[in-house]
Structure 1
Amino acid sequence: MLSDATTNCFIRDGICARHPPCCMLQIFSLKLAKLYVDGSSVELYGYVAARDGLDPLLNYIVNVSRDDPIVVEQGSLINMTGPKRGIDLCDSILIEYDMRIKTGEQEKDDLQLIDGVSAINGVPLWDRCTFTNRIHGDYGAVDLTASFLQQAFEASVEVVVSEVHSSFNLCLVCFIRGLNEELRLFDGAIGEARSLKRSVVAVMEDSWMDLKFKVGSESSISAEHWCSFKADNHGHATQEINTGFGLISVKVIWSTLNL
C-alpha cells in the first residue's frame, strides 16, 4: 500500500508529509508453551489471525490445514506464515485463534489446543513495549510475543534465491533496531532456485531493519551474511548476497498504513 509516491503525496524537503508513520503491532513469535497430552510433540493445524480497524477480514498469522499439519514440540516456535499486511494498532484489535491437535483419522477425534478471541488495546502500551501474552487452552498453551510501535512503517520483504551452486540450509532472521526480539522469517533447506514467502515487518521511523542470513550444509561450518535497510514511507531498496552456495536477492518495499 502506497509504496510508490503519487500525486496525493505532499513532498517537503524530499520527504512525503501526507503519509506519516502510524501505530502498528509487530508479532515476533508464537510458541507452544505447554502441552497437556502424552508425548513431547504434536501435529498442529488451525489458524491465528488479527482483525484491525483497517479491514474486518482476518489477517492470518498462522493458517495450516488439517491435511498438512505441522509437527511442533513443547517449547518450540510455531512457524508463522503471515501477516499478509501490517497490523494497525491505532485502536483496539482482535487476535482470533482456533488451533487443534490432530490425533486420529477424523476431525471429531482431534483435541482443541486453543480457541477464542483476545483483545489488544494500544492506548495503555508504551512505545516499543514488548510483551508476551499466554493463551490458555484445554490441552496446552501458546505464548504470543509482540511489540507496540507508535510510529512505524510497513516493510514487505521479498527474498529470491536466484542461483544455487549446491544444496544448503538457510535460516533468515530479522532484527529491528531498538527492540530486543528477533523475528524468524525462514528456516529450511534450499535445493534449487526459488522465492521464499513474502514477509511483512513493522519498522519504527528513523530506525533500521537488519536481516541475518545463516547458511551452511552438513559438511560445512555455517556462515552469516547481513544486510540492512532504513525505514521509509515510500519506495524500495535491493541488495544481493553471494553466499558461496548461491546468490540471494533481497528486495524491501516500504509503505505506510496511513491513507
Structure 2
Amino acid sequence: MASTAGIKGEDSGEPDNDEQDGRGTCVHDDEKKHARKKKRVTHDETFLRCGEGPPGDRDGSIYRMAVGWRRDYCIADRDETRCEAMMLSNPIECMFHGATCRQHRPGRMLQIFSLKLAKIQVAEGGPVELYGYVAARDVLDPLLNYVVNFSRDDPILVEQGSLIEMTGPKRGIELCYATLIEYDMRIKTGKQEKDDLQLIDGVSLIDEMTTFFRKPFTRRIHGDRGAVDITLSCVNDAVEATIEIVVLEVQSNFSLCVGCFISGLHQEIRLFDGTISESRGLRRSVVAGVMDTWMDLKLNVGSGPSYNSDNDAEHCCTFKATNHGYTSQLVKVKFATVLVKVTWSTLSMLP
C-alpha cells in the first residue's frame, strides 16, 4: 500500500470513502493555523509530519517534508530526470544463458495506470481547466520524471469523473525501497495565477515492501478544491516497454483510442484518445511490462469525433516482453494503417 506524506491538505484514502479525508494541524504559508481532524492511521499506512516551507514558494508544500526525504530525493532540484527511455535496449556487454541476457536483469518498477479527477469543489459546474504536474522521483535518478505536466498557458479541459491525460513518464519508474510521487495541480480561473485554485499539492511515498504483492489499487489524493484518484501497482520482474505509434495512409478523419494491458491485468493504461486527421506519430509512451509475459494493445477506431464502444471497431496487437530489442507490427484499420513499435529495455545498471 502507498504510504503518504500528510502535506497541506493532501491525504490518501479509499476513493469511495470521503470520511478518509481526516487531516491534522498544519501551518500554511500565510502563517495561519487551522484545525483539522486527525487522520486515523491504520496498520499499513505511515504519515510523515511536516514543518513549514518557504512563504509564497510555488512548490512550497514539498519543502514541508522531513529533512531526510528532502535530501535523499533532491526535492530542491527542479530539473527533469537525465535518464532516457531505451538506454539498455541494445547494450554491447551482455552475458547470455541460451537466448536470454543475464547481465541486464528485470527489476521492480512502479506503474501508474491512471489519474482521474474524482471530485471538484468549484461554484460553476461543468469542465475545468487544469494545469500543473504529477511526477515521480526514484533512486535511479531522483530528479523529476513527469507523468503529467501542463503549463498554465496550455491547460487541459477536464470534468469531474474523467481521466487526466498522462503525458509521461519519460522513462520507466524504478521501485527500489521507496518512490516519491510529487504533485502540484491547479484550476485556472482568472487572468492571473494568484486567482487560480489549488487542486492538489504535496508528496506521497510509495513503499516497495507494502506494495510488493498487490494488484493495481486506487488511492485518493485530497486537496483544497477537490480530489484526484491515482491507480498504481508494483510490477515485479519488470522491464521497460517504450511504445511508439505512427498512423499512416490516413483516408479520412477518425477517432482513435489506444489502451495498453500488461501481464494479463484488466486495468487499462490509456495511451491516446483523440481524433486523427492526417498521417502522424503519436506521443511516445513508456510502461512496465513483466518479463516473458504478453502485453496487449487495443486500438478502438470510429468514424465519429470520439470513441463509441457500441459502434466502433476494435483491433488488437500483442507483444512478448523481453529485456532487449524491439518488435513492430502493422495494423490495418478502416481509415488508415497503424505502425506499432515496442522497444524493450531494463533499468538495471543505468548510471
One fold, TM greater than 0.5?
yes
Alignment correspondent of 2:122 = 37
The answer to whether the 8 A contact 1:160-1:249 is kept is yes
Aligned pair 1:239/2:334, yes or no? no
**Ranges of 4+ aligned residues in structure 1 off by more than 6 Å:** none
Alignment correspondent of 1:194 = 280
Q: Please give the alpha-carbon distance, in whole angstroms, between the structure 2 residues aligned to 1:199 and 1:242.
A: 21
Q: Please give the alpha-carbon distance, in whole angstroms, between the structure 2 residues aligned to 1:59 and 1:241.
A: 31
Greater helix proportion: 2
Aligned pair 1:76/2:141, yes or no? no
2:137 to 51, 66, 82: 51
Q: Please give the alpha-carbon distance, in whole angstroms, between the structure 1 residues aligned to 2:116 and 2:292.
A: 30
Q: Deviations over 1:125-171 (max 9, x none)?
A: 23352221211100000011001112100000000012101111100
The answer to whether the 8 A contact 2:292-2:321 is kept is yes
Alignment correspondent of 1:152 = 238
The answer to whether the 8 A contact 2:211-2:233 is kept is no
Q: CA deviation at 1:123?
A: 1.2
Alignment correspondent of 1:18 = 103
- Structure-to-structure mapping, 1:1-259, within 5 angstroms: 1-6=87-92, 8-38=93-123, 39-127=125-213, 129-218=215-304, 221-259=311-349
Q: Give, as a single letter, the amino acid of the residue that structure 2 aligns with 1:244.
A: K
Q: Please give the alpha-carbon distance, in whole angstroms, between the structure 2 residues aligned to 1:180 and 1:122.
A: 22
Aligned length: 258
Q: Give, as a single letter, the amino acid of the residue that structure 2 aligns with 1:246.
A: A
Q: Secondary structure at the match of 1:114?
A: strand
Greater strand proportion: 1
RMSD value, Cα: 1.3
**Identity, % of aligned positions:** 63
Q: Please give the alpha-carbon distance, in whole angstroms, between the structure 2 residues aligned to 1:90 and 1:151.
A: 12
TM-score, scaled relative to structure 1: 0.97
Q: Secondary structure at the match of 2:324?
A: coil
Q: Secondary structure at the match of 2:194?
A: helix
Q: CA deviation at 1:177?
A: 2.8
Greater Rg over alpha carbons, structure: 2
The answer to whether the 8 A contact 2:116-2:164 is kept is yes
Q: Please give the alpha-carbon distance, in whole angstroms, between the structure 2 residues aligned to 1:178 and 1:238.
A: 20
Gaps of 5+ in 1: none
**More relative contact order, 1 or 2 (CA 8 Å, 6+ apart):** 1
Q: Please give the alpha-carbon distance, in whole angstroms, between the structure 2 residues aligned to 1:63 and 1:172.
A: 20
Q: Give, as a single letter, the amino acid of the residue that structure 2 aligns with 1:212.
A: K
Q: CA deviation at 1:57?
A: 1.0
